[in-house]
Amino acid sequence: MARIGIMGGTFDPIHYGHLVTAEEARVQFELSQVLFVPNHYPPHKDLNGVTDPEHRYRMTLLATMTNEHFAVSRIEIDRPGPSFTIETIEMLRKPYAASDLFYITGADAILQIVRGEWERSAELLALCQFIAASRPGFSLNAEDMRRSNATGRRLDNVHVMEIPALAISSTDIRRRVTQSRPIRYLVPDPVEAYVVKHRLYR
């Protein structure tokens, strides 16, 4: 059975922290492909601060183009309204019926899910496997998850993955651009060029 990773994100913009996480998951969990899914609008953030979905989608394409195992989906970009992850996984299970799906998240996101803070969290946890990235500063272990678990599920399908620390965040990148500070080496060169060309985050 093929093993497919799904990396959801706002990707505003996508950066090397996201890419390292996806690549580490691909290798550690022997995934044949990682599908990046930029959201239309994140359910949990103030929409005023979020860049147009098409810009975020194109930057995700540019960032992933050199990795033959990475692909980008428009499934959330083309679905109106906020992007609830449960709806995405339910939709993806049809084309990938013969595959094992692994949803890749950071430490904050998996704790929100097990606390039941996402739309239909318990159902989401039942739909696929999860790879939760633990990194210095955002560390996570099975005990943290067990203590936070309000879903009534056993969490046997949630796997913790250690990744190297990259102190990069989309918030910091946007702030740097606003302050005319460099973002080179924090994002792939084509993403930097796209930000400059379209005057994003000014």
Give dist(CA 12, CA 56) in Å, integer: 6
Residues making up the chain, counted from first to last: 202
Out of 4, 6, 21, 73, which residue is the one contacting ligand NAP (CB under 6 A)?
21
Position 109 contacts ligand NAP (CB under 6 A): yes
Query: What are the tokens at 164?
Result: 């190297």
The yes or no reply on residue 148 touching ligand NAP (CB under 6 A) is: no
Contacting residues for 171 by C-beta, under 8 A, at least 6 apart: none
Assess contact for 140 and 110: CB atoms under 8 A. yes
Going by C-alpha positions, the residue among 6, 4, 1, 3 that lies closest to residue 105 is: 6
Burial class of residue 140 (count of CB atoms within 10 Å of its CB; 0-12, 13-18, 19+): buried
Does position 51 bind ligand NAP by CB under 6 A? no
149 contributes a contact to ligand NAP by CB under 6 A:
no
For ligand NAP, which residue of 122, 127, 160, 166 counts as binding (CB under 6 A)?
166
Closest distance to ligand NAP from the beta carbon of 36 (Å):
10
Distance from the Cα of residue 54 to its chain's centroid: 17
Q: According to CB under 6 A, which one of 54, 78, 100, 108 is a site residue for ligand NAP?
A: 108
Pick from 9, 4, 1: nearest CA to 36: 9
- Taking a C-beta distance cutoff of 8 angstroms, is the pair 76, 40 a contact? yes
Shortest Cβ 103–ligand NAP spacing (Å): 9
**CB-wise, 98 or 110, nearer to ligand NAP?**
110
Please tell me whether residue 97 adopts helix, strand or coil conformation. coil
Q: Is 78 in the site for ligand NAP (CB under 6 A)?
A: no
96 scored as a contact of ligand NAP (CB under 6 A): no
Q: How far is the CB of 169 from ligand NAP (least distance, A)?
A: 5
Instruction: Find the binder of ligand NAP among 6, 23, 36, 39 (CB under 6 A).
Output: 39
Contacting positions for ligand NAP (CB under 6 A):
8-11, 17-18, 21, 39, 42-44, 83-85, 105-109, 118-119, 133, 135, 138, 163, 166, 168-170
